[in-house]
Copies of this chain bind each other. A is one copy, B any other.
Amino acid sequence: MIVIVRENVAPEGLDELCGYLRSQDVEPHVIVGQKQTVVGLIGDTTSIDIHHLESMGQVASVRRVSEPFKKANRQFHPDDTVVEAGGVEFGGGSFGVMAGPCSVESEEQCMIVAEAVKQAGATVFRGGAFKPRTSPYAFQGMGEEGLAILSKVKREFGMPVVSEIMDARDLPLFDDVDILQVGARNMQNFSLLKELGKTDKPILLKRGLAATIEELLMAAEYIMAGGNGRVMLCERGIRSYDTRTRNVFDVSAIPVLRGLTHLPIIADPSHATGRTRLVAPVAYAAVAAGADGLEVEVHHDPAHAASDGAQALLPGQFDEMMRRVSMVRSAVTEPLAVL
A contact residues vs B (CB 8 Å cutoff): 2, 4, 7, 29, 31-36, 38, 40, 42-43, 46-47, 49, 51-52, 54-57, 63, 65-66, 68, 75, 132-139, 166-169, 185-186, 188-191, 194, 208-215, 218, 221-222, 225-226, 238-245, 248-256, 259, 272-274, 276-278, 281-282, 284-290, 302-312, 320, 323-324, 327-328, 330-332, 336
Contact = CB atoms under 8 A, between A and B. Distances in A.
Contact of A277 (B211, B259, B330): B259
A46 B254 CA distance: 33
A36 to B, nearest CB: 6
Contact of A136 (B225, B277, B309): B225
A19 to B, nearest CB: 13
Given A2-B38, A252-B282, A166 B137 contact: no
Copies in the complex: 4
Contact of A309 (B36, B40, B55, B211): B55
Contact of A222 (B2, B55, B136, B213): B136
B35 A66 contact: yes
Contacts of A259: 277
A212 B186 contact: no
16 contacts: A4-B65, A32-B42, A33-B40, A33-B42, A34-B42, A40-B40, A63-B63, A68-B135, A132-B190, A166-B189, A209-B211, A240-B248, A251-B281, A281-B290, A284-B332, A285-B285
